[in-house]
Amino acid sequence: MIRLVQAPFDPGEALGEFCRDRTETGAVASFTGLARAESGRTDILELEAYPGFTEREIARHEAAARERFGLQDTLILHRTGPISPGEAIVFVAAAASHRRAAFEACDFLMDYLKSRAPFWKKETGPDGARWIEPTERDQDDLARWETQ
Amino acid sequence: MIRLVQAPFDPGEALGEFCRDRTETGAVASFTGLARAESGRTDILELEAYPGFTEREIARHEAAARERFGLQDTLILHRTGPISPGEAIVFVAAAASHRRAAFEACDFLMDYLKSRAPFWKKETGPDGARWIEPTERDQDDLARWETQ
Amino acid sequence: MLLFGRLADLAGWREREIPAASLAALRGILAAEDPALFEALQAPAVRTAVDQTLVNLDVALRPDSEVAFLPPMSGG
Amino acid sequence: MLLFGRLADLAGWREREIPAASLAALRGILAAEDPALFEALQAPAVRTAVDQTLVNLDVALRPDSEVAFLPPMSGG
């Protein structure tokens, strides 16, 4: 499931709910992306989505991940709007019967979210605002999944 | 930090606390291992540790992981005693500035916990009790880190 | 028509109604009105969605079609 | 002396005081008393810790030394 959220959320609460009443899961991997202050260089991060389109594109990749890694369940929470340092931007969880599948699925979904999911990210600090685009490292991370 | 815990714990609460007030972290990966009912074949899991020795051995590997992956922080919670299906057995979290390091550290620590950490695990079901030892897959998983 | 990310900053707006019979016609109108925006929309990294579906070629537009121009994406 | 996991099940006890001047002497006492346990302790997969430190060879023991025999470990 993918949910865009506008208010700050607690990644712990998301993980707690995701793990609840799972008697046949075995493995839950999660990833939480937190906004960094970068030693005062970033005051605020602003995340823009294309409501409707963004959820549908992400749901497609969630379905691909479930199939590829044989997952039992996935959850993606993603903030939109202004985000302060220390707040969670994204939370991804994957449930599987074996830990390798759960780890790889989280890793795969994060690489996708970083470089291909319909979000636009603007950092504002003392030096002004700039739009963040995927780094070369993000592109390399994503490419790992294509050659396998 | 490594903590052995005897009562059921909420992995969500652990993640929530671990993420709190991190303004320079960026990435938190976590893994939660849950006890499986295995369709009625397992009623109870029993985890034995060697108090003192177990914590010290795990702390040594935590320190190795922090150094190897350049981590900011790690947390390991591990149950001991009887555990019912659906309860968390283990929770591992790693904080880093980049997601790759956080994922790999969790993966590394879990492979170690599965095959080398001083725990002894007994499964009791309708067919009686048996001691669980690392599988061939667990050994292969662990070997990945030695060849790198 | 919708603009996202740096394209909206460049144009100074995010959303407008523009009557056009096709994507190509819409680009023609923008080229006359705001050459800098037109140029930015031509970049290969900018994707185009019509009615929330990505398109690669020119397509016809209906009066209620929603056209969105999407600069390089980055979440997480 | 401490036994863990399946070794404790095999012996029927987890903890006992056994006077012995060295690990080798301790093994000798166990061999006489419980050959099945002695045999199990000889398996290469069983690790030995003296005062919570893993040891590979014979070592001398003090009166208050803690000796633990550790079968293959598995957590998580």
Distance between C9 CA and the closest CA of chain A, angstroms: 10
Give residue-wise pLDDT tens across range B111-141.
Answer: 999 999 999 999 988 888 999 888 888 888 8
Q: In this complex, do D75 and B78 lie within 8 Å of one another by their Cβ atoms?
A: yes
Distance of CA A37 to the CA centre of its chain: 19
Give the pair of three-digit tokens for residue A30. Answer: 């999660």
Disruptive mutation site among B13, B23, B100, B141 for chain A (greatest number of A CBs within 10 Å): B23
Distance CA A125, CA C10 (A): 19
Question: For the whole model, what pTM was predicted?
Answer: 0.93
Q: Does residue C75 lie within any of the structural domains?
A: no
Q: What is the CATH number of the domain that holds C9?
A: 3.10.20.30
Please state the domain count of chain D: 1
Q: How would residue A39 be classed by pLDDT, with cut points 50, 70 and 90?
A: confident
Question: Which of C39, B96, C72, C47 has its CA nearest to residue A121?
Answer: C72
Disruptive mutation site among A17, A24, A45, A99 for chain B (greatest number of B CBs within 10 Å): A99
Q: In chain C, which residue's Cα lies nearest the Cα of A79?
A: C76
Distance between C54 CA and the closest CA of chain A, angstroms: 10
Q: Is B140 in CB contact (< 8 Å) with chain A?
A: no
Q: In this complex, do A119 and C72 lie within 8 Å of one another by their Cβ atoms?
A: no
Q: Which amino acid, B71?
A: L
Calculate mean pLDDT across residues B48-54: 97
* ipTM higher than threshold 0.95: no
Q: Which amino acid, C31?
A: A
Distance CA A61, CA A117 (A): 9
Distance CA B86, CA A28 (A): 12
Counting every residue, how long is chain A? 148
Q: Is C75 in CB contact (< 8 Å) with chain A?
A: yes
State residue B110's pLDDT score. Answer: 97
Distance CA A62, CA A76 (A): 9
Q: Are B97 and B24 in contact (CB under 8 A)?
A: yes
Residue B91 confidence (pLDDT) above 90: yes
| Structural domain range at position D9 | 2-70
User: Any idea where the domains of chain A sit in the sequence?
Assistant: 2-147
Distance CA B25, CA A5 (A): 21
Where is average pLDDT lowest: A65-79, A110-124, A129-143, B78-92?
A129-143
Q: Does residue D75 lie within any of the structural domains?
A: no
Residue B148 confidence (pLDDT) above 70: no
CATH homologous superfamily of B2-147: Molybdopterin biosynthesis MoaE subunit (3.90.1170.40)
Which of B52, B90, B116 is opposite residue D73, by nearest beta carbon?
B116
